[in-house]
Each structure stands twice: as structure tokens, then as C-alpha cells.
Amino acid sequence: MALNIRLDAFEGPFDLLYHLIEKNKIDIYDIPIAELTDQYLGYLEDIGEEQLDTASEFLVMAATLLSIKSKLLLPSTHHEVQLEIAAGNDEADPRDELVYRLIQYKKYKDISLILRQMEKEQLKLFRRQPEDITHFYTQGFLLEGVTFEDVLQVFRNLCKTDVHRKERHHSVKKDP
């Protein structure tokens, strides 16, 4: 089970990172890691030490951003590139994994907004409760002279008519 950490307006490290990307109108596929890392670390400094004690996930994200920033800044030799390709790690850009995770985060965030809106719409609806029909049951009630085939034929006829298939909705509006 994942621990959900909240810092004022942010529920997790990706929420803060996503907020910074949206605020600066940054293309998610071309993230300026140096600028974003500086803003992320600046925010962590602003929130204070008392909240950082409970927010280790934010520090892990900061370390990840710093690692990506250092990989982008340090020149890689041809030998290092060949070793990464041989190891099956042919990522040309160290930001690729972060971009993928941010895209997934954005999808979940968008879906959660849609579900929240659907929930609000459902709260406006009132459904009719099932009625008590036990008073229709009487012991020994049998249809004399009616066979199973007769009942089946009546059922088939009912299924053919559209009148019984239509769902009924009633809107109730409050008088002004």
C-alpha cells in the first residue's frame, strides 16, 4: 500500500512536478530539467524542515531530478554510450522515464477528474426504491389450465414490444 503524502496543495511529488510543468507551460516531451529542478528544490526549501521530515518521497523526486540534470550536464564518452547500449539501456535521453511517468500521472489525473464529475452528476439522481410485493404472493395460487408454453409465449410477446423496454426518466424542477 502506497503512502499518500500531502504538502499544502500537493498530494505527492508528481503532483508538485506536474504543477510546475503546467504553471510554466512546458512541453512534457521537452522538459528543461535544469530549470525545473531549480524550481522544485526552491519549493522544497520554502515548505520548511518540519514538513520535509514526513515527505521523503519529495526528496526522492528531487534526487531523481538532480541525477537526470547531472547526466545531461556531464559529457558522456563514446565508451560509456557503447556500454549502455551493450547492457540494453539504449536510452539516449535520461528524461525519457520521467516523461513516461509524467504522462501516466496526467492520464490518471484526467481520469480522476472525469470520475469526480460523474460522481457529482450521480448525486443529483434519485432512483425509485424496490417495492414490497409480498402481498401479491398467496399460497396455493395456481393458474389452472395454463401451461409453461403459454407463459413462455406471453413472455416472448412482451419482449417484442418496445413499450416495456423503454427506460423511464422523470425530471423534477424546483418552482421559483
- Give the pLDDT confidence of 101-140 residue by residue, as tens digits: 888 888 888 898 899 999 999 888 888 888 887 776 665 5
Cβ–Cβ under 8 Å, residues 95 and 17: no
Looking at residues 143-171, what average pLDDT do you find? Answer: 77
Question: Exposed, middle or buried by CB within 10 Å (0-12, 13-18, 19+), for 36?
Answer: buried
In Å, how far from its chain's centre is CA 89? 30
Structural domain spans, the chain: 1-77
Nearest alpha carbon to residue 18 among 94, 72, 99, 96: 99
One-letter amino acid of 127 = R
Q: Which residue has the cell 395460487?
A: 141
Looking at residues 9-26, what average pLDDT do you find? Answer: 70
- Other Cβ atoms closer than 10 A to 14: 19
pLDDT, residue 3, reads 38
Lowest mean pLDDT among 26-35, 112-121, 148-157: 26-35
pLDDT, residue 84, reads 61
pLDDT, residue 116, reads 92
Rounded to whole angstroms, the Cα distance separating 47 from 5 reads 14
